[in-house]
Structure 1
Amino acid sequence: MPEPANTSPPGGTSGCAPTRGVGRRRLLRRAGAVVAAAGAGAAAGGLLGTHAGRKENEHGKRPTFLLVHGANSNAYAFAPLIAALTLEGHRALAVDLPGHGAQANFPPSYQAPQDLAAFATDPSPVLSRTTLEDNARHVAGVVRRIARQGPVILVGHSMGGATITRVGNQVPDAIARLVYLSAFCCVRIRTILDCFLVPEGRATLLPTIPSVGDPERTGVLRNNWRSADANFAAKAKAAFAADYSDMAFRNVLNAFEPDESASLIRDDARGHPATWGRIPRSYLRFTLDRSIPLAVQDRMIREADAATPGNRFDVHSLRAPHLGPAGPAPLAAVLAGLV
C-alpha cells in the first residue's frame, strides 16, 4: 500500500498510473473499508422512503432520489438526509445492497464479550460471494420500478459510486441524473483498488485503520468497529469524520457493519461512454475527505469529462469529511437544487 502523503472546480490532465501487485495485496489486506454514511441519524428497515412531494417535472411526475450506500453501511445511514428532503417535499428512498441491512452479518464473535480470534475467521455467507455486478443488478431492479412512477435521480456515496456507475451502464434510459457524493466514478482507472494506487490516492488514511482477518481467505474486508481501543477510534475518526464531535462520530460508528465484500474493490467499475456517459451527472466534492482525497475526486471528474466532453459533470463542493456534513441540511440543499 503506498504511504499517505480549494474548493474551485477541478482541472488538469489525466492518465492512469500502472499498479503493482505488492501494493494491491497490501491495500486489500489493510484498507478495511470505505464507509458510506450521509450523517448521523436513526431509522430502520431494508428500504427507507417517502412518498410526499410537491415538485414535479415538466411531465407532471415528481422525481425520486434513490440513495445508494457504500462499504460497511446500509440504508439506515441516509435517514437524516431522507428526513431533510422529505421536510422540503421531495421523494426519497434508500436501498440496502446485498449482504447489508437486514442481510448484514454480525457473527457471535463480534458481540460482547468479543472473541477476536474467531472474529478473524468467521464466515460471511452473503458478502463473501457478492460482486459489484450483484450490487448493480439489485439497484437496477429498484430503478426500473421507480421509473414507472417518474424520473429517478440515482445518488451514490463513496463505494456506492461504483454501483451507480454500473447501473448507468445497464439502464441508462431509466435514470434522469447520476449524483456522486465524494464517490468513486471510474472511467480510465479500472477498479476502486486502483484509485488508491495512482499518485493522487496515496494521501488516503484508510490503510491506517486496522483491519481484521485475511480477505483472501474470508472473502470480506472486515473491521472491528466495536473495538475498545482508543487509538483505533481516533484513526477511524481522522479518516472519516475529523471535524465531527466525538459523540456524533460514535453515533455513526455504532451503525457500521463489520463486513464488506472484498470483490467490490477489484471488480471492473468503469462507466461506458455509450451508456453511462449519456446520463446527466453531478459530483459533490467533499473537500475535507481524507478517505477519498480531494485530488482523487478531481481526477475522476476530469477523466469522466474527457470521456464524454459533450456531457460534463455539474460540480459542487461542500466543506465536509468523507461521511459528509455532520448535519444533513447542506447536502439536502444541493440535492434539492438538482430537481
Structure 2
Amino acid sequence: MHPTYVLVHGAFANSFSFAPLQAELGLLGHRSVAVDLPGHGFAATYPAAYQAPQDMEGLASTPGAMRGVTLAENAAHVIRVLERAKGNGPVVLVSHSRGGITATAAANRRPDLIDHIVYVGAWCPVDLSVGDYHAEPEMADVDVAALGLAMAGDPAELGLLRVNFRTADTKALDAFRAAFLADGTDDEFRTFLNTFQPDENLDVGGDADRAQADTWGRIPKTYVRLAHDTSLPPALQDRLIREGDALTPDNPYRVRTLDSSHLKWLVDPAPAARVLAEVADGIDRSAR
C-alpha cells in the first residue's frame, strides 16, 4: 500500500506553498496532504491595514488569530491529521524549516502514526532548544535582522510575530531575497513572498520538545540538506544530522542534498519529489 505524505509548512507559510510539490508527487502517483497549522491558511488574519494603501499604525495593533498559539497545539493538530492519514496506510511526515519543530513534537508524542519522517532544511532540535541554537557558531552568519526590518507591532503586546511582507522598503526586500530565494528569479521571489501571511506564533518549544530517543528515535528518518540555504545554513543542518545520529546510532538519518536555497526546492519541486518517492519505494519494499 502506497504511503500518504503529510506536509508541514514553515514560519509565515501555509499549505499553499506545497501546491507545486503536491502536483509533482501526484504525477508520480503519490498521495499527499498539506497541513495548515492553527492560524494559517484560510484561518490566518490579514488585517485590513495590511492592504494598500497600508495603515502601519493599524497593522501594528490589530489582533490576530495566532495570538497565544502554542507548539503543543500545532503538534496536536498534526497528530489529528496523521491519525486520519494512517487509516489509509503508511504515513511519511515531511516538514520544512520551522515546521520541523512541530514535526518533532508530534513524533515525540505519537511515533506509532509515522512510518518515516523527512526534514527538508528543517529544525530538529536534539542537544539544545531552538532558541539556544541561534547563539551557536553555525548561525553566526544568518541575518537575523531581516524580519526585523519589516516587523509590525510589538510581539509581546500582540502575542505573535507580525511581519509586513508587502513592504516597499528595498532594504527589507533585499534581505528577504537573500534569506529565502537568492537563487530564484525576481518574479519567483515576489510570487512566493505574496504567499506568505503576516503572522506567526511565538512558541518554538523548549528542552522538553527536543527529539527523544525512545519515541522520535524509533522512526526511520531522512534529512534533505539544502546546499544554499542561508536561513538554516548547511553547517547547522549537518550539526542537527550529527546530533540525531548520535542520539539514535542504530537508526541514523538517510541524507540527501538538493542544490537549493531555503525556498527554491518548492519553486522547482521535481528533484524533491524524486527524493520523497525514494522514501515511498523503501516503505513499499519493506512491506513486501
Which has the larger helix fraction?
2
| 1:177 counterpart = 2:113 | no
Q: Kindly provide the amino acid, as one letter, of the partner of residue 333 in structure 1.
A: R
Per-residue displacement from partner, 1:74-106 (whole Å, max 9, x unpaired)? Answer: 100000000000001111110100000111010
The code of the aligned residue for 2:134 comes to F
Match of residue 112 from structure 1: 52
Equivalence for 2:276: 335
Partner of 2:146: 208
Cα 1:266–1:307 change in 2 (3 A) is closer
- Note if contact 2:68-2:202 (Cα within 8 Å) is conserved in structure 1: no
Q: Any idea what SS the aligned residue of 1:338 has?
A: helix
Counterpart secondary structure, 2:264? coil
Structure 1 residues 335 and 100: alpha-carbon distance in aligned structure 2, compared to 1, 3 A threshold: same
Q: Report the alpha carbon displacement of residue 71 of structure 1 after superposing the two structures with TM.
A: 0.8
Which residue pairs with 1:229 in the alignment? 169
Matched residue, 1:188: 127
- 1:63–1:153 Cα contact (<8 Å) kept: yes
Aligned to 2:102: 163
Number of equivalences: 277
For the Cα contact (< 8 Å) 2:98–2:122, is it kept in 1? Answer: yes
Q: 2:11 aligns with which of 65, 71, 96?
A: 71
- 1:98 corresponds to which residue? 38
Poorly superposed stretches of 4+, deviation over 6 Å:
none
Mapping of 1:288-307 within 5 angstroms?
288-307=228-247
Query: 2:91·2:114 contact (CA, 8 Å) conserved in 1?
Result: yes
In the alignment, is residue 324 of structure 1 matched against residue 240 of structure 2? no
Q: Deviation per CA, 1:14-53, whole angstroms, max 9, x where unpaired?
A: xxxxxxxxxxxxxxxxxxxxxxxxxxxxxxxxxxxxxxxx
Change (3 A) 1:338 1:321: same
**1-structure distance, mates of 2:198, 2:213:** 35
- Mind listing any 5+ residue stretches in structure 1 that lack a counterpart? 1-60
- What's the TM-score, normalizing by structure 2? 0.93
Unaligned 5+ runs, structure 2: 281-288
Q: Deviations over 1:263-303 (max 9, x none)?
A: 23668531111001110000000010000111111111111
Question: Structure 1 counterpart of 2:61, which letter?
Answer: T
The 5 A counterparts of 1:128-143 are 128-143=67-82
- Out of 181, 195, 209, which is 1:241 matched to? 181
Whole-angstrom distance in 1 between the partners of 2:209 and 2:18:
23
Which residue number in structure 2 is paired with residue 37 of structure 1? none
Residue 226 (structure 1) shift: 0.5
Partner Cα separation in structure 2 for residue 90 and residue 169 of structure 1? 26
Give the % identical residues: 46
Tell me the amino acid that sits aligned with residue 203 of structure 1. Answer: D
Distance 2:141 2:170 in 1: 23
Moved more, 110-119 or 96-105: 110-119
Q: What is the DSSP-based 3-state SS (H/G/I as helix, E as strand, rest coil) of the residue aligned with 2:140?
A: helix
Residue type of the alignment partner of 1:276: W
- 8 Å contact kept, 2:183–2:264: no
Q: What CA RMSD, in Å, does the superposition of the two structures yield over aligned residues? A: 1.3
- Could you tell me whether the CA contact under 8 Å between 2:111 and 2:216 is conserved in 1? yes
8 Å Cα contact 1:131/1:267 also seen in 2: no
Asked whether the equivalents of residues 72 and 259 of structure 1 are also in contact (C-alpha less than 8 Å), the reply is yes
Matched-pair contact (CA < 8 Å) for 1:215–1:221: yes
Whether the 8 Å CA contact 2:128–2:207 is kept in 1: the answer is no
Letter of the aligned partner of 1:194 in structure 2? D
Q: For residue 152 of structure 1, what is the amino acid of its counterpart?
A: V
* TM-superposition CA deviations, 1:194-243 (whole Å, max 9, x none): 22111111221232331222212211111101111222211100000001
